[in-house]
Structure 1
Amino acid sequence: MRIIKVDAIESTNTFLRNLYREERLDMPVCISAKEQTYGRGQMGTTWISEGGKNLTFSVFMPINGLALADQFQISMTVATALIRGLQFLQIPRLAIKWPNDILSDKYKICGILIENIVKNGSLEGVVIGIGLNVNQLNFEGLEQASSLKKLTGVHYDLDEILGILLQKIEEYFCQLATRSYPTLKKEYESYLFRKNKPSTFKNIEGDSFVGIIDSVTPEGKLRVLLEDEVFKDFDLKEIKLLY
């Protein structure tokens, strides 16, 4: 994989999207920055990270033969690949908070932002933005955030971790075209945070309710078992897990 390293940049995702347009990329490329001045998270949020202490990088991966309707398979592939990489580093109690936040011991350590590149109604590639908290210890005002060092007491080499995660991402994307959907879905769901456990949620109206996470749909919606044994599917904007 081609790797580009910079000291500071506004957004690694934006850089890769521009590079794709300029060079018509057809091979995997990674851009890694010591500091992002305008890192983005899910639904327009900002990813805040202390410069030089964490990993902030984006990866372009070409996509062949995956229908646009099946794009959630990309999210499952990325999340499970990162879990596998972090397991190699012996990070404890890893889980995926739907759709693709990575937790350790209930604390968020990694955020993922996926931006598909679509041309004429077909997926041509994907830009995957990843922010992993590594050696940062202070998360003032962010009670649910943590880092690898805070969880394990180990000071990590950022380049070493980057290499491990990129290897897993490439490995899982190589399997994407041939791996069966049920197999991928089963692995992804095995890491789902709070799966099969009574949990409290908040809906789009701000009302709280209790449900049990059952699975995800092919479109990536969260299927929740409600009272009276009724299943309901929720989109990302429609539900929030309270924990």
Structure 2
Amino acid sequence: MIIIKLNATDSTNSYLRRLYSSSAIEDFTTVIAKKQTQGRGQRGAEWESQEAKNLTFSVFKSLEDFSLTHPFGISMVVALALRKALQSFLIPQLYVKWPNDILSADKKICGVLIENVMKQQDIVASIIGIGLNVNQVEFDNLPRASSLTKITGAIYDLDEVALAVLNQVQYYFDLLKEGGFENLKTEYESCLFRKNKPSTFKDAEGLLFSGFIKGVSNFGNLQVLLEDNIIKEFDLKEITLMY
């Protein structure tokens, strides 16, 4: 495993993509930056992080030797790896907020941005960007954000946390490669935030509605039980969970 440490870059995902496009790189090559000037999250959101307080890093994963029937397996692998790594640091009440945010109780501590590399119709690699709040304690205008330090009161070694995450990412990708999609899906659904609890959602038009999260489809759509006792599937662009 090659780890590249940078003082600053625009985005670790962008840096890794440029590296991949210019030369062959080793599987699980990781880029860690103390500071990102253009960090990105899901749905085009910016990812803000205090310099040298948190982990902002990206991992290159080759998928050329995978039989990847359901690409959502990548998202499940990353979410489960993060959760398992954080459990080793005794972070309490860890949940996955669909599709792959990590929460402790109801506070967001980690976001993920996965960008797949395509050749023709096949995914040949993934660039997995992870932003994990570790030692930051102040979050201006972000009432739902938290960090490992805010939750436990302890200060963490960033390298130790990063290595724990990377080891679990490797482990869970091995499980996926061995054909463990269904078992991974069962584990993923077992730790879904607000599963089987009455929840409020916002649709693409901004309208609010209620329902119960029941699980995810093999394609990663969220399955929600609606008031008329019908389970409907939504993709990431169609629905937002409002906590």
TM-score normalised according to structure 1 size: 0.97
Letter aligned with residue 195 of structure 2: K
* Alignment partners' CA distance in 1, 2:85 and 2:102: 12
Equivalent positions of 1:203-218 (< 5 A) are: 203-218=203-218
Look up the match of 2:23: 23
Equivalent positions of 1:17-166 (< 5 A) are: 17-63=17-63, 64-67=65-68, 70-166=70-166
Q: Structure 2, unaligned stretches of length 5 or more? A: none
Look up the match of 1:237: 237
* Cα deviation, residue 120, structure 1: 2.0
* Alignment partners' CA distance in 2, 1:105 and 1:15: 33
Q: CA RMSD in A?
A: 1.0
* Alignment partners' CA distance in 1, 2:238 and 2:17: 28
* Alignment partners' CA distance in 2, 1:141 and 1:149: 18
Q: Does 1:5 align with 2:5?
A: yes
* Cα deviation, residue 65, structure 1: 2.4
Q: Contact conserved, 1:39 with 1:46, CA < 8 A, in 2?
A: yes
* Alignment partners' CA distance in 2, 1:221 and 1:182: 15
Look up the match of 2:170: 170
Q: Does 1:228 align with 2:231?
A: no
Q: What is the aligned-residue identity percentage?
A: 52
SS in 1 for 2:211: strand
Q: Structure 1, unaligned stretches of length 5 or more? A: none
Comparing 17-26 with 187-196, greater Cα deviation is found at: 17-26
SS in 2 for 1:20: helix
TM-score normalised according to structure 2 size: 0.97
SS in 2 for 1:201: strand
The structure in which a higher percent of residues are helix is 1
Alpha-carbon displacement from aligned partner over 1:14-63 (angstroms, at most 9, x marks no partner):
11111111112252200000111110000111000000100000000111
Comparing 198-207 with 184-193, greater Cα deviation is found at: 198-207
* Cα deviation, residue 183, structure 1: 0.4
* Alignment partners' CA distance in 1, 2:45 and 2:78: 20
SS in 2 for 1:135: coil
* Alignment partners' CA distance in 1, 2:140 and 2:66: 44
Q: Contact conserved, 1:66 with 1:123, CA < 8 A, in 2?
A: no
SS in 2 for 1:229: coil
* Alignment partners' CA distance in 2, 1:40 and 1:135: 20
* Cα deviation, residue 179, structure 1: 3.5
SS in 2 for 1:189: helix
Count of residue pairs the alignment pairs up: 242
Q: Contact conserved, 2:137 with 2:147, CA < 8 A, in 1?
A: yes
